Amino acid sequence: MTLIELARETRHVEGDMSSLAIKGNGLRSKLLWTAVIALGAVSFGIVALSRGESVNAAWLVIASVCIYFIAYRFYALFIAEKVLGVDPERQTPAYQHNDGLDYVPTNRYVLFGHHFAAIAGAGPLVGPVLAAQMGYLPGTLWILAGVVFAGAVQDLTVLFLSTRRDGRSLGDMVRSEMGPVAGGIALVGVLLIMVILLAVLALVVVKALVGSPWGTFTVFCTIPIAMLMGVYARFIRIGRIAEMSVIGIVLLLAALIYGRTVSENPAIATWFDLRGETLALIIIGYGFVASVLPVWLLLAPRDYLSTFLKVGTMALLAVGIILVQPELKMPAVTRFIDGTGPVWSGSLFPFLFITIACGSVSGFHSLIASGTTPKMIENENQLRLIGYGAMLTESFVAIMAMIGATVIEPGIYFAINSPGALIGTTAAQAAQVITGWGFTVTPDMLSQIAQDVGEKTLLSRTGGAPTLAVGMAHILSGMFGGRVLMGLWYHFAILFEALFILTTVDAGTRVARFMIQDMVGSVVPSFRKTESWGNNLVGSALAVGAWGYFLYQGVIDPMGGINTLWPLFGISNQMLAGIALILCTVVLFKMKRQRYAWVTIVPTFWLLVCTLTAGWQKIFSAEPTIGFVAHARVFGDAAAAGKILAPAKTMAEMNRVIVNDYVDATLSALFVMVVLAMIIYGVIAIRRALGDPTITAIEIGLPATIPGAKLA
Amino acid sequence: MPDIMTMKEWTIRTARLMVGIPDYQTYVEHRRQTHPDAPIMSYEEFFVERQNARYAVGKGRFRGCC
């Protein structure tokens, strides 16, 4: 400790905002922070304690923002300065390896934007929408507590570790700090999460586009538009990103507006009025073709378009919520906290903590935080802004999604999100069932909202995207356009989600292909050559086949697929967060900073408890709606008795349902085993670190102030 | 790099880095200072190189998030 204190004394801190914040304990600053805390407490009280009457969304926004500021000012500063011991004197990889390309010292605000754009995606938009079935309060509490104590801590710590190791990837760091076997297990975990992530995201798109000619036409149009942009920026006006993006956005808006004409013309509309199975096969085929095309043609231009649209729309939604200040119609807590909800099965613990993954804590971010960002950090004292701050911003996106889902009438929310097997297929049936649950809704309200947004029906449009689109249309049309433009806003929201999900599907398939090639390549070395066309095709087919299998299974699932797949995705994502936090804990022990290790141990413990309980229940629960084995048994018994249960129509389909259940159970078991193995390796590494009196963390680069670090 | 940038400059740089294209001027200055004899890529070459690098399939390059 004395060395570290000494080091702190000798620092030059001119212009360093975080140090100024510590030292600037003037009266004004104290008053300011007292006011922020008071405002946060009051708004939070209004949000949490209101019963019966609806609450204005503005209170939720104010409460969250106050919590973010307090967490950033106090807890994040504590983690950066005390727990990690960031060293402003230490040269970052951006300076050490400066090449003007990958390693470039970059202004912190510019880098913040880069990092935020890299971590933000569909996850924080979908999870809270699904969690809203329990009311706005349980999900909101987990989003806020999760981000402050788990998600942002993980992002900041991994970013710190990677910055001290030349921007190495998570897998590399696990290998060097915890041994090659642990590294291998972590990579298997990453591959599994990729497969499930791609399947569930593709399913969100399929669910949003089923029977929607307007949406399908618009989303299909993005492919030729992106190709046109790709050719423009690569051959006609090389590298003119702004020109190309303007062309793309104008064409996209034209496709969006023209989509209504298409949907109103029955002859053309039938071409885009597709069933789920057809859409799934189209997306699978598309994923394969897209992943073998050159990147500049489709992936890169669409990535540009989706990035700008994503950031722009999120900003627009924030402005919309602040200006419109909608009322939250959903009760704070609904009766479904007992686990009988229609949107997803399972009780509040552990499944709420699985359902909202991104937005509170996302393992995927540990891959991004150990990617390109650490290679551009100017100074270690900026890690807090970029690692912790960007994650807080992402969490705010999740809060906006929660607002989007809860400003809709609860009855309409449940009509959109409940599977057809529960609420039937007509507005009259659905209204009756949902009113029976205690959420009053009339068939007229259901037809009216579908007509307002320009769809035939909104019943059972599970997956979160349509709900969020209705919520966004509600908020944004309150700002401009009113009811007349609601259909346009709805399809704009669908387009915006589909666009960046398809980009993820494309890029993720490439990553999965590389990982498969790398793993198979360790047995068959010739398979490793990523430039070979044969390997490329086989690898892509394997990657697409893996997620395509789960996608198709989800589409034909009578419970809507999201019901089965989203918890699996949540478990895998939290599992990866668990792995990342175990690594962080191990390294803190190896750095001899174990007195602060509770900062990562507490969230690790919580995530492991949640993932292991959820994984266990998914396999062994006696409730067929939760446990895969119990579900398989119900179908197995029926099959043995010669009966056929819906959705299966033939005995062969019955058998397929049973096989799918066992595949899902095996996958859950794999997740549980990966987690258990990582815990064992973590404990071994910590014991070894405690037994060694020296610092054993393997950092790269010269430590400016802390002697004794072993150099590798 | 100066810490204070105009709003316009900040927006442009951030938007470009969001899609993986770092500042070209910074690259040119870096090459001039550290490798004065070596050739410097034109903006077009720089763009193509960065675009390929962003999507190069490899470890530690995860694109797209949940």
Chain B CB contacts of A98 below 8 Å:
30, 34
Q: Which residues of A touch B29 (CB under 8 A)?
A: 100
Q: What pLDDT, in 10s, does the model give residues A350-395?
A: 999 999 998 999 999 999 999 899 999 999 999 999 999 999 999 9
Using CA atoms, how far apart are residues A155 and A581, in angstroms rounded to an integer?
9
pLDDT > 50? residue A555? yes
How far does the CA of residue A687 sit from the closest CA of chain B (Å)?
29
Q: What is the pLDDT of residue A522?
A: 82
Which tens digits make up the pLDDT trace of A64-80? 999 999 999 999 999 99
Distance from CA of B35 to the nearest CA of A (A): 10
Cα distances (angstroms) measured from residue A328 to each of A353, A478, A612: 22, 14, 34
Q: What is the pLDDT of residue B33?
A: 93
Q: How many CB atoms lie within 10 A of CB A424?
A: 16
B interface mutation test: which of A97, A108, A110 has the most B CBs within 10 A? Answer: A110
Under DSSP, the state recorded for A92 is P
Whether A369 and A155 have beta carbons less than 8 Å apart is answered as yes
How many angstroms separate the CA of residue A267 from the nearest CA in chain B? Answer: 37
**Cβ contact A100–B1 (<8 Å):** no
Ramachandran bin of A287, using left for φ above 0, alpha for ψ from -120 to 50, beta for the remaining angles: alpha
Interface check B66 vs A, CB under 8 A: yes
What pLDDT is stored for residue A7 in this prediction?
Answer: 41
| CA–CA distance, A390 with A158 (Å, rounded to integer) | 13
pLDDT digits (tens, 9 = 90+) for A119-152: 998 889 999 999 999 999 999 999 999 999 999 9
Spell out a b/e string for B36-47, using b for 16 or more CB atoms within 10 Å of the CB, else e. Answer: eeeeebeeeebb
Cβ of A109 and B51 within 8 Å?
no
Which of B13, B48, B50 is facing A101, going by the closest CB pair? B50
Asked if the model's pLDDT at residue A647 lies above 80, the reply is no
Report the C-alpha gap between A238 and B45 in whole angstroms: 9
CA-nearest residue of chain A to B54?
A300
In whole angstroms, how far apart are CA A576 and each of A196, A451, A572?
12, 42, 6
Please tell me the distance in Å from B50's CA to the nearest CA on chain A.
7
Taking 50 as the threshold, does the pLDDT of residue A712 lie above it? no
Q: What is the mean pLDDT of residues A181-198?
A: 91
- Contact check, Cβ <8 Å, B16/A241: yes
ipTM of the complex: 0.92
Which 8-state DSSP code applies to residue A456? S
Q: Given a cut of 90, is residue A526 above it in pLDDT?
A: no
The model carries a pTM of 0.93
pLDDT above 60: residue A16: no
Is A168–B53 a contact, with Cβ atoms under 8 angstroms apart?
Answer: no
Closest CA of chain A from B45, distance in Å: 9
Alpha-carbon dihedral angle through residues A264, A267, A268, A269, given to the nearest 10 degrees: 50
Q: What is the pLDDT of residue A657?
A: 87
Interface subset of B 5-64, CB within 8 angstroms of A: 5, 10, 12-23, 26-31, 34, 43-44, 46-55, 57-64
Q: What is the CA radius of gyration of chain A?
A: 25
* Average pLDDT in chain A: 91
How high is the pLDDT of residue B61? 57
The pLDDT-based confidence of A24 (bands split at 50, 70, 90) is: low
Q: Say which residue, A703 or A296, is predicted with more confidence.
A: A296
The number of residues in chain A equals 712
Residue A4 has pLDDT above 80, yes or no: no
Tell whether the torsion through CA atoms of A160, A166, A169 and A172 is positive or negative.
negative
Show Cβ contacts of residue A133 under 8 Å, excluding neighbours closer than 6 positions.
A334, A336, A341, A342, A343, A344, A413, A414, A417
Amino acid identity of residue A296, one-letter, is W
Q: Mutating which of A130, A159, A314, A372 best tests the B interface, going by the most B Cβ atoms within 10 A?
A: A372
Would you say A355 and A158 are in contact if contact means Cβ atoms under 8 Å apart?
no
In this prediction, residue A8 has a pLDDT band, given cuts at 50, 70 and 90, of very low
Distance CA(A607)–CA(A388), nearest Å, equals 18
Helix then strand then coil, in percent of chain A rounded to 5, is 75, 0, 25
Q: Which residues of B touch A547 (CB under 8 A)?
A: none
pLDDT, position A517: 86
Residue A216's Cα: distance from chain center in Å? 23
Overall residue count recorded for chain B in this entry = 66
Omega of the bond prior to A647 within 30 degrees of 0, cis?
A: yes
Chain B closest CA to A327's CA: distance in Å? 28
CA dihedral over A678, A684, A690, A696, signed as positive or negative: negative
SS3 category, A512: helix
Interchain CB distance below 8 Å, B65 and A110? no
The percentage of chain A sitting over the pLDDT mark of 70, rounded to a whole number, equals 95
**Token pair belonging to A408:** 């809709």
Enumerate the H helices of A71-179 as residue ranges: 77-78, 93-96, 108-119, 123-131, 136-146, 152-163, 170-178
The pLDDT of A586-603, averaged and rounded, is 97
pLDDT in tens, A223-258: 999 999 999 999 999 999 999 999 999 999 999 999
Asked if residue A675 has pLDDT above 90, the reply is yes
Partner residue facing A507 (CB), from B14, B29, B63: B63
Residue of chain A with shortest Cα separation from B27: A100
φ and ψ at A339, to 5 degrees? Answer: 95, 10
Note whether B15 contacts A308, CB cutoff 8 Å.
Answer: yes
Q: What is the mean pLDDT of residues A401-418?
A: 96
